[in-house]
Amino acid sequence: MAYDAELAERIRTLLSGRSDVHEQKLFGGLCFMLRGNMCCAASGRGGLLVRVGPDAPPAVFGEPHASAVEMRGRVMAGYVRVAPDGYRTAHGLKKWVTRAVDFAATLPRKAKKAAAKKKPGVARRKK
C-alpha cells in the first residue's frame, strides 16, 4: 500500500515554516524528519505515524482513533498510529503533528547521512 499523498501534503503544509525539516521515504511511507530525527509519517500501511516518545502518557495511546504501532510483530515504544478519522480535520492533524514536533525537538540534532556508495563488483578472471 502506498502512503496517502494528500496526507503528506497536509503535513508538509503544517511544517512549511520550519527550516529544520526534511522528507525521507522510510517504512513504506513518507517520513518527516526534524533535525534528523523522525517526527511523523504518512504511513505506507495507512494512517499517520506519530512519534510521541517512550515517556508519553498512556492516555495518548487510548485516544480515539489512536493505537500503538506494531511492526513485524513488535510494538514500537513511543509511536502512535492514528487512523484517518483522527486527523480528518485540520485541528485533528495539527494536534498530532504538534505532539510529534514537540517530542522530536527534545532530541539532539542528527547529521544527515550521506548516500551510501556502491562497491565495485568483483572482477571475474577468465579461465
Instruction: Say whether pTM exceeds 0.75.
Output: yes
CATH 2.10.10.90 fits 5-104, yes or no: no
What averages of pLDDT result for each successive group of 10 residues across the chain (127 residues)? 89 95 89 95 91 93 92 88 96 97 94 62 56
What integer pLDDT is reported at residue 120 of this predicted model?
61
In three-state secondary structure terms, 61 is helix
DSSP state of 121: P
Work out whether the CA dihedral 18, 112, 69, 25 comes out positive or negative: positive
What integer pLDDT is reported at residue 115 of this predicted model?
58
